[in-house]
Amino acid sequence: MAEYTAERKAYLEAFSANVRRLREEREMSQADLHELADLHRTQVGRMEGGDAEPRLMTLVIIADALGVKLDDLVAGLPVPKERRPPPDRKPKRAKRLGSK
């Protein structure tokens, strides 16, 4: 679990550094990015702080707002070796077809 947590933290920190760098290169504030991307301001702040792992659609929206390719957002990110969630996370139960 410690390896997974460390890798996830490194990954999110590298991503947040990319977003910050790309935003600052364009002389944009976080407020500018949240308005252009139509994302909540706290969501942008959490991503730049390394506290949020955005979904693919959000990544595409951010790349578009910054005028960059999706590749630029993830450039240099470490590839995780540990690919399972921490054991304390409970798996979602699948619904049976026809059940309510």
Domain ranges of the chain: 2-74
User: In which band, very low, low, confident or very high, does the pLDDT at 98 lie, cut at 50, 70 and 90?
Assistant: low
Contact 78, 12 (CB under 8 A): no
Q: What is the mean pLDDT of the chain?
A: 87
Structure tokens at 90: 């409970």
> Residue ranges of the alpha helices (H) in 1-100?
2-25, 30-37, 41-48, 56-66, 70-74
- CATH tag for 2-74 (out of 3.30.9.100, 3.40.50.700, 1.10.260.40, 3.40.50.970): 1.10.260.40
Instruction: Supply the pLDDT for residue 5.
Output: 85
Contact 22, 59 (CB under 8 A): no
pLDDT single digits (tens) 50-71: 999 899 999 999 999 999 999 9
Coil, strand or helix at 69: coil
